[in-house]
Amino acid sequence: MHTFTVWAPAASTVSLVLVDGAQKEAQKEAREMSRADGGWWRLEVPDAGPGTDYAFSVDGSNPMPDPRSAWQPDGVHGFSRVFDTAQFTWTDAGWSGLDVRGSVFYELHLGTFTPEGTLDAAAEHLDYLVALGVQVVSLMPVAAFPGQHGWGYDGVALYAVHEPYGGPLALQRFVDRCHALGLAVCLDVVYNHLGPSGNYLDSFGPYFTAKHTTPWGPAVNLDDEGSVEVRRWICDNALRWFGEFHLDALRLDAVHALADDSPRHLLAQLSVESAELSAQVGRPLGLVAESDLNDPRMVEPVADGGLGMTAQWSDDYHHALHTLLTGETAGYYEDFAAPGVFAKTLTQVFLHDGSYSTFRGRDWGHKVDPARHRGAEFLAYTSNHDQVGNRALGDRPALTTGQQAIAAALVITSPYTPMLFMGEEWGASTPWRYFTDHEEPELADAVRTGRRREFAAYGWDAEEIPDPQDPQTWRSSVLDWSEHGESPHRELLAWYRDLLALRARTDDLRDDRLGSVGITAGPDGDWLVVERGSLRIVVNLAAETAVVPVDRAPRYEVMTFGTAEVGADGVTLSGHGVAVLAV
């Protein structure tokens, strides 16, 4: 017995269409559904259950996938399949969860993390992540999207797990294995838009509204007629990942694009409901926002008028660090080259905290109050999928091995929650590019043309921009796991491991009070000294050997990348060298 339900408030008729699982083309007779309260339709089918393939026809339309489909085995245009999450036997009863604030994140894309591109293949590398010092595996979106290869941000079946990754059962296995190894799992979810291919939601109800517009077109309907059920569709999705898949946190994509003028913002609603579920299951459930607003209200409690997010990404810190090491000042990096910018983002989170943003052409952001906000509420990183993949060539930062070591030290010893992007820990030589796999020729061409036009405005030759639809663009982005044992990758990996181990055992480095951090910069900007309690992170930004003064006489050298000679007043560091000293 299985009860099928679907929300279609304006429909005159809704039919359930069942197919013979052994004969996909042998469609059975459609069965009329009954109207229920609130615009819902339902039908009990005695001979249906897990494995049954089905679709819905609204007012005589062609069969369409379920907006809450748990499984799309034949892709986003195919029939849905009934999946019972309760059939999985979990072994993580002893898992008490993890507060993701202050924990070490590792962002990975399943389709390029391994050559196989599956959840099961990724699970084979979990021991490696544990040895590295990772605490939270942060998965890019797994919601079903068109084709085989893609970033996942054009997903359209938000309740389903992309079949090429292994489907919903593989995600349960993956999370269970992570918990067995002491790893939490964060999942990237996209509630601000859906992709164009395979998006049938408009045929069911007012999932979108012309009241607001976004870069992707009409906004998801959060405050117009019918929005109560659309909000329920989103919140139920989040709670399902937490409850039925045992996930520990969700990373919410581009929440600034959630247009919501209702009395209670969707994020606040989601925060309250997640907290209630957390109390029921007895473990922390985190919500990590990606926000362009530079507004600390994002992480303030709902009871105090905030939006209740556990933490948020901090692009300003990334931009300041990137500019410090590369000298790149194009586009949104323009304001980050001024003296003192890195120091400000290290101690005050945002550069733009009410100041003028040249890139945006207006004042932007709000100040963080060190007395109220903790560093662990903000994620810091040297790179992530956006900051690499949205570059013209998908190239990783053009840094020397020494500069990469500096970047790692400044993130991992910061008061923020550190995040690594897959492969950065060994200085992966593989790029990470923008790739798609659209079946519709017109959509594929639009994506290809749009990307080339975008970068042509910055002076790039269109022929230099990798074609997102070319399988080689995806293939070139797959990590090469053979290289991390070779020099200089081997030495950089050891540095990351040692830094993360030092952070794990040192209270001063886990102190997330913004006021606990001090920083001194050389008059020419060629060196930095960061104060973290009794430790000093000493950085030579120049290519030549330099003597870097330290405020107190160093007692001993804790660890170094490059050559260092500790003296009474400081340390002599080789070019692009970094040392951690005890004082």
The confidence score (pLDDT) of residue 26 equals 59
The confidence score (pLDDT) of residue 463 equals 85
The confidence score (pLDDT) of residue 123 equals 98
Express each pLDDT in 436-485 by its tens digit: 999 999 999 999 998 998 888 778 888 899 999 999 999 999 999 999 99
Known catalytic residue: 25? no
The confidence score (pLDDT) of residue 23 equals 54
φ, ψ (nearest 5 deg) of residue 201: -60, -40
CA neighbor of 526 nearest in space, from 539, 542, 546: 542
CA neighbor of 107 nearest in space, from 85, 135, 127: 135
CA 292, 381, 133, 579 torsion-angle sign: negative
CA neighbor of 352 nearest in space, from 366, 368, 342: 366
Query: Could you say which DSSP state residue 101 is in?
Result: T
Domains of the chain: 2-64 (2.60.40.10), 105-496 (3.20.20.80), 517-582 (2.60.40.1180)
Express each pLDDT in 289-301 by its tens digit: 999 999 999 999 9
- Is 162 within 8 Å of 169 (Cβ atoms)? no
The confidence score (pLDDT) of residue 458 equals 76
Calculate mean pLDDT across residues 12-41.
Answer: 86
Say how far apart CA 95 and CA 76 lie, in whole Å. 34
Cβ neighbours, 10 Å, residue 145: 30
**Confidence band (pLDDT; 50, 70, 90) for 27?**
low
The confidence score (pLDDT) of residue 21 equals 57
Task: Please say if the pLDDT value at position 28 is more than 80.
Answer: no
318 marked as binding residue: yes
Q: DSSP labels for 168-220?
A: HHHHHHHHHHHHHTT-EEEEEE--S---STT--GGGTS--EEEEEEETTEEEE
The confidence score (pLDDT) of residue 25 equals 58
Q: What percent of the chain has pLDDT over 90?
A: 93
Say how far apart CA 476 and CA 133 lie, in whole Å. 27
Amino acid identity of 225?
A: E
Say how far apart CA 125 and CA 370 lie, in whole Å. 38
172 marked as binding residue: no
Known catalytic residue: 253? yes
Q: What percent of the chain has pLDDT over 70?
A: 99
Task: Please say if the pLDDT value at position 1 is more than 90.
Answer: yes
387 marked as binding residue: yes
Token output for 247:
């996930």
288 marked as binding residue: no
Question: Which among 53, 290, 300, 353 is annotated as catalytic?
Answer: 290
Say how far apart CA 292 and CA 365 lie, in whole Å. 9
- Is 294 within 8 Å of 353 (Cβ atoms)? yes
Task: Please say if the pLDDT value at position 22 is more than 60.
Answer: no
Cβ neighbours, 10 Å, residue 119: 26
Calculate mean pLDDT across residues 301-309.
Answer: 98
Q: Which residues of 175-205 are buried (b: 16+ CB within 10 A; e: fewer)?
A: bbbbbeeebbbbbbbbbbbbbbbbbbbebbb
Express each pLDDT in 155-185 by its tens digit: 999 999 999 999 999 999 999 999 999 999 9
The confidence score (pLDDT) of residue 574 equals 97
Q: How far apart are the first and last CA of the chain?
A: 70
- Is 578 within 8 Å of 409 (Cβ atoms)? yes
Calculate mean pLDDT across residues 293-310.
Answer: 98
Residue with tokens 């994506």: 447
Calculate mean pLDDT across residues 96-102.
Answer: 98
CA 65, 69, 73, 76 torsion-angle sign: positive
Token output for 554:
């160093």
390 marked as binding residue: yes
Task: Please give the residue that has the higher pLDDT: either 163 or 29.
Answer: 163
Express each pLDDT in 108-136 by its tens digit: 999 999 999 999 999 999 999 999 999 99
Task: Please say if the pLDDT value at position 221 is more than 90.
Answer: yes
**Confidence band (pLDDT; 50, 70, 90) for 569?**
confident
Cβ neighbours, 10 Å, residue 569: 13
- What pTM did the predictor assign? 0.97
Task: Please say if the pLDDT value at position 317 is more than 80.
Answer: yes
Express each pLDDT in 227-240 by its tens digit: 999 999 999 999 99
Question: Which among 163, 188, 248, 253 is annotated as catalytic?
Answer: 253
Say how far apart CA 430 and CA 419 lie, in whole Å. 19
